[in-house]
Amino acid sequence: MSGKSDRPRLELRRFGSELLRDQRLNKGTAFSIRERQALGLHGLLPPVVSTPEMQENRILQNFTRQPTDLDRYIQLMDVQDRNEKLFYRVLCNNLDQMMPIVYTPTVGLACEKYGLIFRRPRGLFITIQDKGHIADMLASWPERNVKAIVVTDGERILGLGDLGSFGMGIPVGKLALYTAIAGVPPSQCLPIVLDVGTNNQSLLKDDFYIGLKKPRDRSDNYDEFIDEFMQAVVSTYGQDCLIQFEDFGNHNAFRFLEKYRNKYCTFNDDIQGTASVAVAGIMASLRITQTELKDNKFVFQGAGEASLGIASLLVMAMVEQGVSLEEARSKMWLVDSRGLVCKDRASGGINHEKAAFAHQHEHIKNLADVINKIKPTAIIGAAAVAGAFTEDIIKSMASFNKRPIIFALSNPTSKAECTAEQAYKLTNGKCVFASGSPFPSYTLQDGSMLHPGQGNNSYIFPGVALSVILFKIHHVSDKIFLVAAKALADLVTKDNLKEGRVYPPLKDVREVSVKIAVRVAEHAYATKAASLYPEPEDKETFVRSNMYSYEYESFEPQFYDWPSNL
């Protein structure tokens, strides 16, 4: 007799302990006593029942106790592994404090140390040796309803260069923001590293390196591998699955964007997302400088993914305002490692993307000389050359502009072209400043405070992705990123501008994402790019009602009367 009743109890017990190890379902000490009894958890947890608020508080106390940001990153990743809803509660409620940890700048450091801090694998690692089997590997992923993939091959992680498989920290961090900022359910998000080797010599010698220990494959094999990956995603998750390219090397990033943009649901955040956030910041800056976009001249330090993306989107914005393509391009001046990008440059290095911005102009090698010659209204740094905006350059900008625009976008903080303090101090508080990584506020002599804008891509990509996923937008055009930029710029209030901010406060980024998602959807329906029908009438309500909630679900058994005599 006892054998009969033992078995279900044993099953229940096994289920209970498994539940505590399932990060999607685990609530830790927040399981109620009834849930503990019903699910075979009773006794596996200490008797206290915590509220989610108490759990959040415990995480925050531990967070502040950690000695370094890297330790904070490790702590948060442990929470994500243990209790996903709690992780998102903490992240969402403390975004301005946590974002610099799960994302830039700390995520850069975490990537550099990924081998050392590696605990539980997160995401899919697909190597070039797996060519021919990618669909099988995608099938190993436990979730079937994947709607968004962030993928990197680790060649250009932030401004840190080739980190190979250690680059996994980036897709993991970006997708955490998909959920925290845009409410895309974590089960729909899949981080992927495509490991094709690394040319980082120190990683090749590192005992803790977790990737393929061989040089990067630069052969046709690499292109075939990426092609197979794209097809495997579609065959596994459908044509609608969004694929965000992240931190690919410059050459491949532009090539793949062109190759895939009209065939797949894809975008490149380093090119298009960056462009959108920077253009939004410029649009808001114009309300401070009291100028029109077409009256501005831009010098870019760097002619890579970020600079070319920004320059192209600024041109699109100008053209939309009635400026000719040629005139708009004539206002963009790019400087790369060989100096001014100009026609017939003896030192060469003008690829297809730069050629559109190559001026008929004498070659100038040095950035300061370019600035003194061109006299731009705005300088934008995106070359990962720390300190490139020297004292002389910043002072020059203030000498020929009433309100110079200075964007030091290079990440992480150590690579910034200048600090907010340097920019404000050297221009006597006249400049409009934004950066890629966060900088503290600056107090002017009269006691007023300036808050530097952080041109963080997370203002844009989560909202765009949310819209693409919910409204089934098959292709993500550049126009969508211009729409998103305008939506973001419109959310900057007069009070924000008074404080020097060219972006809304980062803590409001969830609201920003909702508004961007709605504006993108309106544009997508107007241009017949959305394929969700019937078209939701109240798009904002539709968006909000589809966003992930970090509130725990109740697992308490629900009983209702059922007649026993059939």
Residues binding ligand NAD (CB under 6 A): 156, 158-159, 250, 270, 274, 277, 301-307, 335-337, 382-385, 409-411, 415, 436, 455-457
The residue among 112 and 270 lying less far from ligand NAD, judged by its C-beta, is 270
Cβ atoms of residues 179 and 185 within 8 Å: yes
For β-strands 453-454 and 432-435, DSSP reports them as: parallel
The residue among 233 and 277 lying less far from ligand NAD, judged by its C-beta, is 277
Nearest distance from residue 481's CB to ligand NAD, in Å? 13
Tell me the two tokens of residue 372.
Answer: 């003194």
CA distance 460 to 464: 6
The residue among 52 and 281 lying less far from ligand NAD, judged by its C-beta, is 281
DSSP label at 394?
Answer: H
Nearest distance from residue 192's CB to ligand NAD, in Å? 19
Nearest distance from residue 554's CB to ligand NAD, in Å? 40
The residue among 429 and 436 lying less far from ligand NAD, judged by its C-beta, is 436
DSSP states along 436-491: SS----EE-TTS-EE--EE--GGGTHHHHHHHHHHTTBS---HHHHHHHHHHHHHT
Nearest distance from residue 389's CB to ligand NAD, in Å? 12
Nearest distance from residue 232's CB to ligand NAD, in Å? 26
**Residue 499: other Cβ atoms inside 10 A:** 15
| H or E element, residue 87 | helix 84-93
The angle subtended at Cα 100 by Cα 96 and Cα 104, nearest 5°, is: 140
The residue among 92 and 409 lying less far from ligand NAD, judged by its C-beta, is 409
Report the length, in residues, of the chain: 566
| Amino acid sitting at position 161 | G
Cα-to-chain-centroid distance, residue 407: 18
Tokens 């020297």 belong to 390
Nearest distance from residue 293's CB to ligand NAD, in Å? 19
Cβ atoms of residues 35 and 555 within 8 Å: yes
Cβ atoms of residues 151 and 100 within 8 Å: no
CA distance 248 to 256: 9
Task: Give catalytic status of residue 103 as yes or no.
Answer: yes
The residue among 166 and 548 lying less far from ligand NAD, judged by its C-beta, is 166
Nearest distance from residue 381's CB to ligand NAD, in Å? 8
Cβ atoms of residues 28 and 86 within 8 Å: yes
Catalytic residue selected from 85, 174, 415, 515: 174
The residue among 315 and 384 lying less far from ligand NAD, judged by its C-beta, is 384
Nearest distance from residue 360's CB to ligand NAD, in Å? 20
Q: What is the 3-state secondary structure (H, E, C) of 201-236?
A: HHHHCCCCCCCCCCCCCCCHHHHHHHHHHHHHHHHH
The residue among 154 and 304 lying less far from ligand NAD, judged by its C-beta, is 304
Coarse DSSP helix, strand, coil percentages of the chain, rounded to the nearest 5 percent: 50, 10, 40
Catalytic residue selected from 73, 88, 103, 424: 103
Phi, psi (rounded to 5 degrees) for 190: -130, 115
Residues annotated as catalytic are 103, 174
